[in-house]
Chain A
Amino acid sequence: MGRGLESTLAVLNGTIGDYLAKTANGLATPMEIIKEDHPVALTAAALKAAFPGATPRVVVLVHGLMCTETCWTMEDGTDYGSRLAKDHGYTPLYVRYNTGLAIADSGAAFDRMLDALALAYPVPIEELLLLGFSMGGLVVRSACHAASAKESAWLPLVRRAIYVGTPHLGAPYERLGRFAARVLEVVKNPYTQLIADIANLRSAGLQDLGDADLRHEDRARRSTVRLRDWRHPVPLIPAIEHYLVAGTLSNEPWLGALFGDSVVPLASATAHERRAGDADGDFGLPADHVKVIPGASHMGLARSRDVYETIDRWCGRTS
Chain B
Amino acid sequence: MNNLRRWKGLAALVQSAVENGSVAIERVQKDTANLPFGILEKIPEIAPAARGVHVVHDACVGATHGAIRLVTRAVGGGVAAAISAFDDGTE
A295 and B57 alpha carbons, distance in the complex (Å) = 59
**A145: min CB distance to chain B, Å:** 31
| Complex contacts, B31 vs chain A, CB 8 Å | 190
A25 and B12 alpha carbons, distance in the complex (Å) = 7
Are A26 and B6 neighbours in the complex by a CB distance under 8 Å?
A: yes
Tell me if A224 is interfacial: C-beta within 8 Å of chain B: no
**A140: min CB distance to chain B, Å:** 27
A218 and B32 alpha carbons, distance in the complex (Å) = 38
Chain A positions 255-274 with a Cβ under 8 Å from a chain B Cβ = none
**A112: min CB distance to chain B, Å:** 22
Are B24 and A28 neighbours in the complex by a CB distance under 8 Å?
A: no
Are A27 and B28 neighbours in the complex by a CB distance under 8 Å?
A: no
Are A190 and B27 neighbours in the complex by a CB distance under 8 Å?
A: yes
Are B28 and A190 neighbours in the complex by a CB distance under 8 Å?
A: yes
A247 and B10 alpha carbons, distance in the complex (Å) = 37
Tell me if A197 is interfacial: C-beta within 8 Å of chain B: yes
Cβ 8 A contact of A197, one of B4, B10, B24: B24
SS of B interface (majority): helix
Chain B positions 26-61 with a Cβ under 8 Å from a chain A Cβ = 27-28, 31-32
A9 and B13 alpha carbons, distance in the complex (Å) = 13
Are B24 and A194 neighbours in the complex by a CB distance under 8 Å?
A: yes
**A82: min CB distance to chain B, Å:** 26
Tell me if A191 is interfacial: C-beta within 8 Å of chain B: yes
A25 and B7 alpha carbons, distance in the complex (Å) = 10
Cβ 8 A contact of B32, one of A9, A25, A190: A190
A23 and B24 alpha carbons, distance in the complex (Å) = 20
In the complex, besides A26-B4, A26-B7, A194-B24, 16 extra interface pairs with C-beta distance below 8 angstroms are A20-B13, A23-B12, A25-B9, A25-B12, A26-B6, A26-B9, A26-B10, A26-B12, A27-B6, A27-B13, A190-B28, A191-B28, A191-B32, A194-B25, A194-B27, A197-B24
Residues of chain B having any CB pair with chain A under 8 Å: 4-10, 12-13, 16, 24-25, 27-28, 31-32
The 10 closest A-B pairs by CB, nearest first: A26-B9, A26-B5, A190-B31, A27-B9, A25-B9, A190-B28, A26-B6, A26-B8, A194-B28, A190-B32
In the assembled complex, 27 residue pairs joining A and B whose CB atoms fall closer than 8 Å, in A order, are A20-B9, A20-B13, A23-B12, A23-B16, A25-B9, A25-B12, A25-B13, A26-B6, A26-B7, A26-B8, A26-B9, A26-B10, A26-B12, A27-B9, A27-B10, A27-B13, A28-B9, A190-B27, A190-B31, A190-B32, A191-B28, A191-B32, A194-B24, A194-B25, A194-B27, A194-B28, A197-B24
